[in-house]
Each structure stands twice: as C-alpha cells, then as structure tokens.
Structure 1
Amino acid sequence: MAGMNWFWKALGGKQGRDQKRSVGLVTQAAELEPKLTSLSDADLVAYAREHKDNAPELLASLREVSSRAIGMRPFDVQLQGALRLLEGDVVQMATGEGKTLSGALAAAGFVLRGHRVHSVTVNSYLAGRDAAWMGPIFTFLGATAAAIAPQDSPDQRRQAYAADVVFAAVNELGFDVLRDRCAPSIADRVQAPAGVAIIDEADSVLVDEALVPLVLAGSEPGKAPTGQITDVVRHLRAGEDYTVDEGRRNVFLTDRGSARVERLLGIESLYDEGHIGTTLVQVNVALHAHELLQRDVDYIVRDGKVALIDASRGRVAELQRWPDGLQAAVEAKEGLQVSEGGRILDSMTIQQLVGRYDIVAGMTGTATSAGDQFREFYGLHVSVIEPNVPCIREDEPDRIYATTADALEALVDEVVALNQTGRPILIGTRDVAESEQLADALVLRGVESAVLNAKNDEAEAEIIADAGALGHVTVSTQMAGRGTDIRLGGADESQRDEVVERGGLCVIGLGKHRTDRLDNQLRGRAGRQGDPGSSVFFVALDDPVIAEGAAGEALSVQPDDDGRVHDKKAHQFIDRAQRVTEATMLSIHATTWKYNKLIGDQREILDERREKLLTTDAAWQELSSRASARAEEVASSVSKDAAERAAREIMLFHLDRGWSDHLADLNDLRESIHLRALAKESPIDEFHRAAIGAFKQLVNEAVDASVGTFKEVTIDETGAQLADAGLARPSSTWTYMVNDNPLASGSGSVVGSVAALFR
C-alpha cells in the first residue's frame, strides 16, 4: 500500500483544488448579484442562456431565478454543490443542507446547455414532491419539468418523458427501459433520449441497489419448487444433513443429507445429468429459504403475501421479489399460495441502467464512505461541500457490551433516563423483529414509542414529522425518513426552543451496520443545519456483523458487572470486523459486476440488431433472401408496408423469444456453475465461456426460426397472424425487482446464490 500513497495524495490534492476553485467561482457569482437583481425576468433568462457555459455568470443567474421562481435564495454551499454536479461529481452535503435545490439548479444548468435531464430519486413520492417544488425554476427559464408516477399510462409517460427535466424513481426509469427494449413497434415506446442523470441519495442507488435486477416478465407459468421438495427440506436437520457457513451466506448439503433427499424423493442421484440443473437447484433454493431467510428480518407476511424488506432502508421493498424459485420456496415455507413467476422477457441491473447516460452526477450525505465504489464502478469522484452552518452534533464513542442482551438492557436504561428530560430520541434498529422487541421492552419501563418499520412504512411521513417533538421516542428500522428532515420541536417547530435547551435530537443505534456509511446515515438524522444533537451506538461483541467480520479471531476482555466493555482493544476489534464485512461486500459486488457486465454487453449487441430490424426493412430483406419463393407469394398478395411489417413482427418475435430463453439458460447456468466448473478454471471464467458460446447461437437460431414461421404463418394486410400459429406475445406483462444481493440482509442471510457460486 505504501506504493499507492502517491495516488491518494494526488486524489486528495485534486479534490482540494476542485473545492478551492468552486469556492472562488461562487464568490465571483456573489459579486454579480446586484447587477442581476435589477434585470427584468426576460432579461434574466436571456442572460442565463447567453452565459450558460461561464460558471460564475450561470450560478449567479440561477441563484436569482430561484429567488424569483420559488422564493428560495440558494446559499453559497448550495451553489457549490450545483457546480460540482454540473462537473459530474458525486456531491456530499450534510442532512438539511438543501441537496434538492442544488440538484434542481444543476438540472437547470444542464438544460440551458442543451441536455435533457433525468432527476433520479429513490421513490416516486420524492419524485412527485421535487417536481412540484422545483418545477417553477424550469418554467421560469422556459423549460418543462414532469414526474413519472407508478400509475401513469403509456401516453402519460410518453408526455412526461418529453419534458426537459424528468423526475422519476430509479425503478420506474428502469422498467420503462425494459418495456421499450421489448416494444414491437416504435410507436409503443415511451422514453425520449436523455443524456444526463442527477441521482439523489446516490450511495443508495449506485451502491446499495446497484446490482438489483429489474425484471420484465410475461404471462407464462414459471418454474417453482415442488411441494414435495419443500416437505423434504423441512425434515432435514442442521449439522447432520446440511451445514451453514460462518457468515450465514450459504447452506450446503452433506453427503448424509444428499442421500436422505435422494431417498425421500425416490431418485438415484441428485448429481446426475437429469437432476443437477433442476432438482438439486430446487433443493438448494428450498434450503436457503428454510434456514437463511428469516421472517420479520428479511421479509414480512402481509395480506397473505410475502413482502421483502429493503435492508438498506428497513422498509418494504415495493415491487421487489427474489428470483422465482426462491420466492416460491419462501411462500411454500410460510404456507402461502405459491405465485407464478412467469417467463422473464428481459432484465437489467440499476448499474447497467445508470451506464446508459453520458453524464452521471449524484448527491448524498454519505458519499466519502462509498468513494471506492463510485470510482471503481462508475469512474465518479466525490466532492465534499462544507455545511452552511458548522455541525455541532456530539458523536459519542460506541458503548460496547459483551452480549446483545446486555446492550439492549443498557440501551433501555439510557432511553428511560433521557425520556424523563423530555429530549426527543430516535433509535435505529436493524430489522423488524428487533424494533418490536425494543418497543415492547420500553413499554415495560413505562415509555411509549412510535415504531416505524416495514409493517407500517406507509405512516413514515407522519411519524418522522413528530420525531423531533418534545418527549417523543421513535424506534425505526435502519433509516428513518431519508429524504426528509427531522425538525426540532415537531413538524411546525412549535417546541423548538424547549428541545434545543434539552440538547436537541438524540440518535441511538442498536448494533452496527455492515458499513460505517450506514451508521453515519443514522447519525446524520441529528444535527441538521447547526442544530444541537448527539449520537451513540450500543454494540455487542456477539452482533452478527461483528461475529461475521471477526470470524476466527479471539478477543480477550473483561466486562463489567453490567456487561460493558471498556478495553480499547474492543473498539479496534469492532472497527476491524466492520471493515472486513464491507470489504467482503465490495468483493462480491466486483465479482457479480463481471457476471452482469457480460449479460449487459450481450444485450447491447442485441439492441443494435433489434433497432435495425425495428427501424429499417432489414427483416424483409433477410427473409426474402432466405425464402424467395414465399417472399414473392407474400409480395403479390399484400402491400409492401404490410409485407415489411409482417417480416418485422416475425423476426422481432423470435429474437425476443431467443433472448428470453437465453436469460433463462444463463440463470440455470449460474445456479449450477460451481458444480460444473473445470478443475483449473474459476466459476466466473467457466460461466463466461458457456454464456458467450450460447449467445453466438442466439441470433442464428432466431433467424432460422423466423424463416420457418415466415413460410408457414398467414400474412395479410394487418401483418403476420402469429397468434394463430401459437406464437403470440404474452397477453400481459409485469415488472418487479429481484433482490439478488447475498449480503443485503441485516442478519447476513442469503437472498441469492451469487456469493456462494462465485467466491
């Protein structure tokens, strides 16, 4: 590492120079303010357009536009943030510093420079809120802004995407890309090209959810584990029939377990050619669901359905599900109706979605902790914007305890004592079960709390609005109200003075997260815009994150009678364990990225082929050259437009069907590749070899199938009658997100099998 010191020094020096330069340009912009305040609205707009490429003049004009359009005069730090966004950085701005306005100013600057901008948010509520709030800025400049809502029709989406600035949740953008990529005609597409993405909560979108596959599925029954396999797995015994690795990321059948499964299923071998890619995979999936996925930690059951929990936010992950086999296995485990997965028509990760933009910038309160990921996977640099008012929050060192029970008891004592002073308290927990256990313990001590977790996330805004009120105690999973501010004294700040006198909001964390970035996100709920506040974490040496990161290491310390550990070695031990778990996540991210990149590269090649078929007469030319007699027959019976449309429909159908089959084959390959890898080859290399070979056949096989259909199918003035030949496209489609991150769970549970297959 010593040889790399020059790199980090150079990088730090560049960031320092950028920061100094930004401050200087903003200072120049401030000097122009008197001149611009005297301009008419029309002259101000003209000035902004004329000086769109000159930073001081552009920033000064945008500040004045904001003041007139929405009554908000941006602080210097907000202009600094806007400038760094315009230069393509990920901007770190503390909670309450006005990231939303900085993002809007940067979007306006990009629009003036001729770009269409997608303002990317983590959910549709924030997209609608920000579009309504910031929209007048764009209107003032003669530009348009719109938001995408989940319930919007294709026509409404088409109209919204035509705007200069489009506010949308990242999943909505991705789903529309998937639908457009499978559109049978140009008229069915909804998106218009956009060159710029400004991403709010960039660490959440670009890191935590980067590898979450977005899926477009069609109405065709999918594969699911049989009820017999689910029953067999219920009878297996841990330690005898299967083992679990130390990090609880994977589960393995023992020889005894394999023999028992074979006997109960009445088959000769799980590992022969007829079962290794089907029965064995389903048994492994059922084992994952049975042993590693925990109710009220990884998912909840609500209204008779399994609802996944977004581990980075502790909320229900809307529209999200596990890969079909695992989803079905969990449903079977809970005795619920097993849902049909459907045929996967197309998929892409959020990382691949972001890669479609020419310019990407982002903003978040915790960028520096994810700096390695931003650089490695996106080539993005981080700019830290100092707060407008210095942060005075007091961050106490971790309070360390021998066991979780000791830590919980001490935390309850602390909350009871603080609550008697009337000071508002926000407690962050890692999962639903933990939040409910803590709330129950507080009730026994006479303290009522508002509980915010995946079971009542619809009440988030209301609960967070009162979290800073006098005497309030809020217990929340992971992140509380990210994207909104907790105001001291309640939503109307009527009790602000009383809360300030008592020290402001106290944030308490129960246990450490997998990265210090998530810890810092929780800390950041206090100390908004110079408010007083404090934070402290109660950590146990047997916390799952600590136990996993410190696997194989021993720590000899002597706890007090109440279980507290004061030894400095314990702090070092916990810090090291957390860094290990974070490094493991980064390693898995890197390996999974290699897998996804290959599929993304193949899709790009397919997209070029599909675009040619969709926008030219290539389909007719190819089929005519391969089946000239049939082409002459068709040409003599229908118009040229009808003939070309029929050829296009046929070739697109088989190309799309071939890609869907390819995705299914790759999924099966991924599930079993660790068993098929050659002795001297890594699983990822073996996967690449097989996937590349399969892709080479895809287009040729699609053309051959198209020729056969062209010769047989009825063609009239309306096109090819594919439905009559049993080749209709799915009658309905739906979208969802696959939670395929093996380290997503707060408890370290496996949610997909990528880590186990590729480590």
Structure 2
Amino acid sequence: MLGIAKTLFGSENDRKLKKLRPIVERINALEPQMEAMSDEQLKAQTDLFKARLEKGETLDDLLEEAFATVRETAKRTLGQRHYDVQLIGGITLHRGEIAEMRTGEGKTLVSTLAAYLNALSGEGVHIVTVNDYLARRDAEWMGQIYSFLGITVDCVNNHDPYGPGRKAAYDADITYGTNNEYGFDYLRDNMKMSVEEMSQRGHVYAIIDEIDSILIDEARTPLIISGPTEDRAELYRTLDAIIPLIVEDGYEVDEKARSATFNEVGNEQLENILRERELLEGESLYDIENVTIVHHANQALKAHRLYVADKDYIVKDDEVVLIDEFTGRMMQGRRLSEGLHQAIEAKENVKIQSENQTMASVTLQNFFRLYDKLSGMTGTAETEAGEFEEIYDLKVLVIPTNRPIQRIDIEDVIYRTEDEKFMAIVDEIAACKTKGQPMLVGTVSIEKSEKLSRFLTDKGVEHKVLNARYHEQEAEIVAQAGVPGAVTIATNMAGRGTDIQLGGNVDMLIESATETVTDEQERARIIENIRAEVKVLKQTSLEAGGLYVLGTERHESRRIDNQLRGRTGRQGDPGTSKFYLSTEDDLMRIFGGDRLKSMMGKMGWEEGEELTNRFMTKAVERAQSKVEAKNFDIRKNLLKFDDVMNDQRKAIFEQRMEFMTDDDVSDVLQDFRHQLCEDLIEKHVPKKAYAEQWDIDGLTQAVREAMNIEFPFADWAAEEGIADEEMLTRLKDSSDRVVTELAAGIPEEELARVEKQVLLQVIDRNWREHLQQLDALKSVIGMRAYGQRDPLNEYKSEAFTLFDKLLISLREDVTAAMFRLLLNTQIQRQQMAEAQQKAQAEAVAQSTRLPTGAPTSPRSPMELMGAATGAGEVTAPMAGSRNAPTTDELAALPRNAPCPCGSGKKVKQCHGRVA
C-alpha cells in the first residue's frame, strides 16, 4: 500500500522539492535583470537589502533577489553559475535544514547563497568545515563573492586563539572555521574575565559542511579544555610492564563494546604481582586505598588489548597521535581521558605527558544546539535522518543531481582470507591501470592501506597513498586522482572536501604551474596548455570507464561506504564502484565471519575463489545497521548525561556573563554574604530552640573562618528574650557595617573591579572542581545498575546535589575571599602609614635624607589580592603590578596567555619560562 501511495502522490521528499520549484523559477526570472546591472549597481544591492530589513522586511522577503544577486556575482568573480539544484540547496540551508547533495554537486558554492542572505542581518554567520585547510580555502575562494558584495569574511584558523585577531574574525559578517575551533573558543570565552576579552559575539546561524561527519561521527568525543595534574609517569610504566604477565584467561575483551576487563583469575594474579612489587596498600585489591591503581591497571589493559597502532593511533615525533576512525585523519591535540592516553604512551615507550584535569567541557551536540538556526550539507545524511531529527530537530532534504547518475554499483565479492582478497584487488588494479582507468581504492585503516601498498609495490604497480601519515598532501593527491591510470589508496574518504575530477583538477594544476610566473602572456599560455591537456586526459579517462572506486573492506557505517562510492559518477560522468570483502575483515569477523570461513572450507572452496551472493551483501548491511544503532545509542546516552551537565553549564555561564556585564556586583556579594549568614544561623541557632541549646562556640568559630572577624555572639545570646531572627539581623547588619568600614578609602571604581575579579575567579575555581566531581561520578554511576537502579536517574540526582553544594561553596568562598582581601588591605595601609610617619620623623631628625629602604605608597586592593586570598586561591594582580603569579595560577593558564604579573609578555616568556 505504501508503494502505491508513493507512486500516486510521491514521497514526502518529492513533495517538498515540488514546492521549491516555483521559487527557483522566480529567481531564474530575475537573471536578465541582474545581468544588465553594472558592477557598481550589483554591489549596491547589499546596502539596498539592509535598508529594506531595517524597514521591517524579513530575510524570506529578500531571498529571491538576494540569491539572484549572489548567482550573478559568482559568474563575474568565479566564472561559476549556480545550477537550479544548487538554488534548492541554498533555500534548504536558509530554512534551517540539511541538504543532501551528491559529491561533486558544488556544496561549497551552495553555501554562499544562504550565508550571504543571513549575513545581511549583521549578526554573524558561522560556516563550519571539517579541517583547517578547507576553512582557509573556502574563506579565500568563496570570499571573492562576499567581498565583491561588501560582506566581510574571515577565518578563525588564521589567528592565534589568544590574540586580538580572533575577535576580529568573529566580528566579520561571515566566519569560516572548524567545529573544534568554534567549540573551544566558546569554552575559552566563558573563562575570560571581561566581555571585551571574549571572541565570539553570539550563536545566531551556522552552516555545517559534511554535517554527518561533525554531528554524528565526532559527537561521541566531548571538547575539553584541561590543565595538568601531578606526574604519574612511573606508575604508568610499572603497570604497562605488568599487563604482558597476565595470562590470557585473566581478562575478557569485547570488541563490539570496546571494553577490556580483568576477570576473577586476572584480578587475583594482578593482586599478587602488585603485592610482590609493594604497590598494594591494605589487605586487598578492593580496598579503597587501591582504587587509583586498579583504575590505571584497567586502562593499561585497554591500551594493550583494544588500541592498535596505525589503526587507532600513530606514533609521530615521539608522540601518540589519535586517528579519527571515520576520516582517517590525525587528531592533533586530542587526547584520551582518565589516563588511557598515558597508558598507550607507556605501551609505545614514548614520553608520557601529564594527566589533565578538566577546566571546561562541552559536547558537540550541545554546542551546536546553542545556535538559533542550524543547517548543514553533506552527500550522505538520509541514513541518519532519524538521529538528526531526534537530537538536533533537523530535517533532511535529498536534492537531485544536476545530471542523471551513470555510476554502476557492482555486487560485493567475498574471499576466504585477507591475503587472497588483496591479491585479487591487485590484479583488478593492474588491469584497470593497463586500460587507463583511474582508480580510487578505499581502506579502513593506515595498517591496511600500507599492507595493500606493499602488495602493489611487489607487483610493480605505481600508486599514491593518502592517510594520516601523508595528511599534508591530501588535497593535491585527491585532486589528481582522476588522471588516466592513476591509482590512489585513501584511508576513509569522509569529508575530504576536494573533488576528484576526471583528467585532473584544472585549478590546482594552474595554481601550481603559475606560482612563480610574473609575465602575463606566459601565464596565459601555460593556462591554455593545461586546459587543453586536461581536456584530452579527461576524454581518455571517460573512454576507459570513468573513475573506478574499489572498497577493500566494508566500514561499520553504511554512510562511510556511501561516501566512498559517491566519489565516482560526479556531474553525470560514468563510473564504477565495487567492494572486496574477506571473512577475516573486522566487521565480518565480529559478526560471524569465522562460521562462514569454516563453511567455505568444508565446501572445498579453492584458494583465490570469490563468492558473489546477494544474501551475503544483505547480511553485511544488517551487521552495519546493528553497529550504527549501537553507536547511536552511545551518542544518545552520552547526550542524556551531558544534558544534565549542560543545564548546569548554561546556568553558570549565563550568570558569569551577567556578572561580567554588570558595572557593580556589590549587591551580589551582599546577597552571598547574607545567604551565608542565614546558613550559619540556621545551623548553629536552630528555630524554636532555647538559648541554652544554641551552639554559640560553633557559630563564633564558623564566622571567624568565613569572615576573619569575631562578633560578640555570647553577649547577644545572653540578652533576655533574644531569638534566632534577631541574631540573624544583627549578624547581617554587623557584617555589612564591617565591610563598609574596611572598604573606606578605596576608590569606588577600583573596589568594583576587585569585587568582580574575586567573584569570577571563585566561580571558575569552584566550577573546575565541580567538573572533576561530575567526571568521577559519571565513571562509577554505571555500577548502580547492579542494584536495579537507573544510572541516568541516579546521575541526575547526585549531580543536582553536587550543584547545590557548588552554590553553597560559592557563597562561602566569595565572602571569605572579600573579607580577607579588605582586611589585608586595611592592615597594610595602616602599616604603611605608620612606617611613613616613622620615616618622616627620622628624616626630620637627620635633616638629610630618607633611610635606605624607605616604604613606598600602599599597594592597591587589586595588587593585594594574591596575598589576601591565600596561596592557590583568587589571584588577579593589576596590570603593571609586577607581582609574581602563584604556581597554581601558572598551571591553569595557557602558555600563550599574557602573564598575570603585568609585564606584557606571554606566560611562556615570563614567569612560566622553563629554565
């Protein structure tokens, strides 16, 4: 019935496309009018659009004219004209949806339509790419359109995260950058001490290129800004040496769940080894004193049994660099948490870097949900449409290709062993190379790509390898993969961002050949020759059958396989795709490959013989679906837990922003002080209790610790008829009076600045500690399931309790810090005054000169903050004060941040300099 309904009425996607056709026709109708305009008239359109917005029109009202303007500008600046399907893509992006467009359909150009239209509001548009190269390339390339129309464009990757250029990049109308750059800048901004220092100006509209790669593949890994903790390198090396001693029956490995744990046998053996080496405290491995060492032993086990070199990471320059399992790229700067990265470093015998403590974190899901409007584009989104709608409230529109697809997808073939499969692949590659057909060979890991490379080298087949080791040549290798007879081995083609053009990429060849040519005639001659040569080469590739995409293994995600397939058959070109499998492939092995291998052996399957079976292909796709569903559950579960933290994060960040924008926060400090007074009275002077039952000594001690002042509570309590309300009123009034007296003589502006700095720094310190507690809670909360309790509900409850404690701690710490600061300020002012009087008296007596070491004028409260608040607490010396920062403060600061001493140098060049 569903099929009949689709035949009669069309699918939902078809109906949406049908509704957009009239808009495209109206844009096309404006083309003659735009073509008739001079450059100046076309440029003037931007100011006209902005004026209409100010008069009350909406972006939707301007869409058709704005799109027609961008199309005409693209023709004049880039020599490219938006196709009708690209206009549909632009409308989809503007409406806050995902445009699924095949590889080679010009998604980069599509984004200019929605970006320009939304930039007219002046609130900023963020265009998100998967790597730095694409961000810079697109900002320069598409920037020609924007600049022509008077729209400013910049790229955040071009600027130091702590330099002034960062803010200027975000102030541009359109900003390009990677998802990580945007996310980390958001976290860094919420650690700044003033609004002026913040880079981002809001989250209004974002266009995400390769949205499935960013919002799905990378969504399991949160963005974390961290600082170093104590050095445990020796412990990691010790435990690394123990793991090979554990018998194979002593642990259980689950590759599907990516888990490795000691069983009873392993725990007993581990306990004995630790006891022999005097690393065990107490009687048993399970004693509370051994929690840390057991945790790191488990991480060492994971490092040895789950993480494989050249697949999950590579060792480069004495450093373990993670590899993105979906794109095959190195993830510079990314580190595994909870000591796992250090365990891998110990395993590989490289320098072990210090563990870090979380200072700020956010998941990509929750970061991108900050945007008022979000949209994206990719070649493969439909398979994940349910997740996009459930998590991000984003709908997917599949946009037809500009020209009919001529690609031929051949059935998968299966071999008994991996070596047999590789030999068959080499024969297929050699045959295609002989007839001049370009080939793109996809692998799932560096290890497999290099193994295949060795097979090809032994056979004498010339080829190029693209993986994390050769990341820098990525664009150049991919761009020339369409030359006749070219063989390119690539590890995961997700989101490469560079089209494979048959015959070669003209633009890149021209750029390379004319880089040093200054003579315009010579340059024109070279360009003409290149175009003619590429035309001939393209015809040769077309006659050979177009690009042949050969997959050496099925990825665990169908979407990644589809991305590889989508590299061929661009813009109506012919092409072929085919996957070669073996029973030893990871996906096949995990989901029953051993049984198939055994069956093939019993059936007398000869070496090198292939199996082509439609049912086997379906079985592989079912296995992929299971993995996709499991990964979706992981991401959804991660988000549920992060939503708990996200509510708290937003509350803290919003409150922090409010404090930064307030000129005077004295009323906040007074509220904190009064709430603290209420807490102390409630605890020590209970309601409806007799005066004899009051804990006056405890109250006196608690107030002394909180405010560094003693009040006559015993005298107050001795008064007849006094009640807890009166005690509270007197404590509030007395504390207010003391603060007023201590602040006397301090200029109002300086006091306001000090109060704000104290407030923000105490919030930051307590928030960091809170994040550590939440991380620890998350790592153990799963154990509650054994008690038939829902870990998520337990986490919500515990996290709420911890947040409540955080707020109480804030009140206490801010009040204590301010009292210490004001007291120390007055004490020093008094000491300085006395010293000056003494010096003046001596000067008069000697009537010659001041004694050596005569005191200077008293320091300001801002300069006294470090001493007033105690080591490791609030520190914010005034610029120019030259006070040396504390060790704790230096540890918390980035190496390129300005040194707090006020020298004007960076931390690494000043007090953070390594001797």
**What is the TM-score of this pair, normalised by structure 1?**
0.91
Q: Distance in 2 between matches of 1:414 and 1:732?
A: 56
Does residue 353 in structure 1 map to residue 336 in structure 2? no
Between Structure 1 and Structure 2, the one with more strand by share is: 1
Shift in Å at residue 376 of structure 1?
Answer: 1.2
Shift in Å at residue 8 of structure 1?
Answer: 11
Structure 2 equivalent of residue 744 of structure 1: none
Structure 2 equivalent of residue 29 of structure 1: 27
Structure 1 equivalent of residue 539 of structure 2: 497
- Report matched runs for 1:289-328 at 5 Å: 289-328=303-342
Structure 1 equivalent of residue 143 of structure 2: 135
Structure 2 equivalent of residue 228 of structure 1: 238
Tell me if structure 2 keeps the 8 A contact 1:435–1:476.
yes
Q: Distance in 2 between matches of 1:35 and 1:87?
A: 26
Tell me if structure 1 keeps the 8 A contact 2:414–2:583.
yes
**Cα distance, 1:93–1:502 mapped onto 2, change above 3 Å:** same
Structure 2 equivalent of residue 159 of structure 1: 168
Q: 1:241 aligns with which of 239, 250, 268?
A: 250
- Tell me the SS of whatever aligns to 2:164: helix
Q: Which amino acid aligns with 1:577?
A: A
Q: Which amino acid aligns with 2:250?
A: D
Q: Distance in 1 between matches of 2:461 and 2:635?
A: 42
Tell me if structure 2 keeps the 8 A contact 1:154–1:190.
no
Structure 2 equivalent of residue 259 of structure 1: 268
Tell me if structure 2 keeps the 8 A contact 1:299–1:306.
yes
Q: Deviations over 1:76-116 (max 9, x none)?
A: 11111101111111001111111111101110011234542
Structure 1 portions without partners, runs of 5+:
736-759
Q: Deviations over 1:54-79 (max 9, x none)?
A: 34333323322332343322111111
Structure 1 equivalent of residue 117 of structure 2: 109
Q: Which amino acid aligns with 1:610?
A: R
**Cα distance, 1:661–1:11 mapped onto 2, change above 3 Å:** farther
Q: Distance in 2 between matches of 1:567 and 1:69?
A: 51
**Cα distance, 1:310–1:422 mapped onto 2, change above 3 Å:** same
Q: 1:684 aligns with which of 769, 782, 792?
A: 792
Tell me if structure 2 keeps the 8 A contact 1:221–1:340.
yes
Shift in Å at residue 649 of structure 1?
Answer: 1.6
Q: Which amino acid aligns with 2:336?
A: W
- Tell me the SS of whatever aligns to 1:300: strand
Q: Distance in 2 between matches of 1:8 and 1:488?
A: 37
- Tell me the SS of whatever aligns to 2:290: coil
Q: Distance in 1 between matches of 2:196 and 2:121?
A: 29
Between Structure 1 and Structure 2, the one with more helix by share is: 2
Q: Deviations over 1:538-597 (max 9, x none)?
A: 012332123334599879565742242234332222121111111111111111111111
**Cα distance, 1:6–1:688 mapped onto 2, change above 3 Å:** farther
**Runs of 4+ more than 6 Å apart:** 4-12, 551-555
Does residue 280 in structure 1 map to residue 294 in structure 2? yes
Tell me if structure 2 keeps the 8 A contact 1:488–1:499.
yes
**Cα distance, 1:480–1:371 mapped onto 2, change above 3 Å:** closer
Bigger CA drift: 636-645 or 597-606?
636-645
Structure 2 equivalent of residue 699 of structure 1: 807
Q: Distance in 2 between matches of 1:578 and 1:150?
A: 39
Shift in Å at residue 211 of structure 1?
Answer: 2.9
- Report matched runs for 1:411-430 at 5 Å: 411-430=425-444
**Residue correspondences, number:** 731
Tell me if structure 2 keeps the 8 A contact 1:171–1:214.
yes
**Cα distance, 1:219–1:672 mapped onto 2, change above 3 Å:** closer
**Cα distance, 1:208–1:7 mapped onto 2, change above 3 Å:** farther
Q: 2:628 aligns with which of 572, 575, 582?
A: 582
Does residue 534 in structure 1 map to residue 576 in structure 2? yes
**Cα distance, 1:697–1:66 mapped onto 2, change above 3 Å:** same
Shift in Å at residue 380 of structure 1?
Answer: 0.4
Bigger CA drift: 84-93 or 706-715?
706-715
Shift in Å at residue 194 of structure 1?
Answer: 3.5
> Which structure has the bigger radius of gyration?
2
- Tell me the SS of whatever aligns to 1:637: coil
Tell me if structure 2 keeps the 8 A contact 1:624–1:630.
no
**Cα distance, 1:438–1:525 mapped onto 2, change above 3 Å:** same
**Cα distance, 1:32–1:257 mapped onto 2, change above 3 Å:** same
Structure 2 equivalent of residue 271 of structure 1: 286
**What is the TM-score of this pair, normalised by structure 2?**
0.76
Q: Which amino acid aligns with 1:614?
A: M
**Cα distance, 1:553–1:610 mapped onto 2, change above 3 Å:** farther
**What percentage of aligned pairs have identical amino acids?**
35
Q: Which amino acid aligns with 1:156?
A: G
Tell me if structure 1 keeps the 8 A contact 2:416–2:582.
yes
Q: 1:475 aligns with which of 484, 489, 495?
A: 489
Q: Distance in 1 between matches of 2:88 and 2:239?
A: 59
Q: Which amino acid aligns with 2:573?
A: D
- Report matched runs for 1:68-467 at 5 Å: 68-149=76-157, 151-152=159-160, 153-218=162-227, 220-221=229-230, 226-238=236-248, 240-245=249-254, 247=256, 249-266=258-275, 267=280, 268-276=283-291, 278-467=292-481
Does residue 592 in structure 1 map to residue 638 in structure 2? yes
Structure 2 equivalent of residue 53 of structure 1: 60
Tell me if structure 2 keeps the 8 A contact 1:92–1:385.
yes
Shift in Å at residue 134 of structure 1?
Answer: 1.4
Q: Which amino acid aligns with 1:691?
A: A
Shift in Å at residue 222 of structure 1?
Answer: 6.7
Q: Distance in 2 between matches of 1:590 and 1:10?
A: 37
Structure 2 portions without partners, runs of 5+:
507-533, 674-734, 826-858, 876-888, 896-915
Q: 2:816 aligns with which of 708, 729, 734?
A: 708
Shift in Å at residue 350 of structure 1?
Answer: 1.3
- Tell me the SS of whatever aligns to 1:455: helix
Shift in Å at residue 730 of structure 1?
Answer: 3.9
Tell me if structure 2 keeps the 8 A contact 1:427–1:476.
yes
Structure 2 equivalent of residue 601 of structure 1: 647
Tell me if structure 2 keeps the 8 A contact 1:439–1:448.
no
Q: Distance in 2 between matches of 1:720 and 1:111?
A: 44
Bigger CA drift: 702-711 or 552-561?
552-561
Q: Distance in 1 between matches of 2:784 and 2:294?
A: 13
Q: Deviations over 1:195-240 (max 9, x none)?
A: 00001111111111123211212355476754332222232122x2
Q: Distance in 2 between matches of 1:84 and 1:10?
A: 25
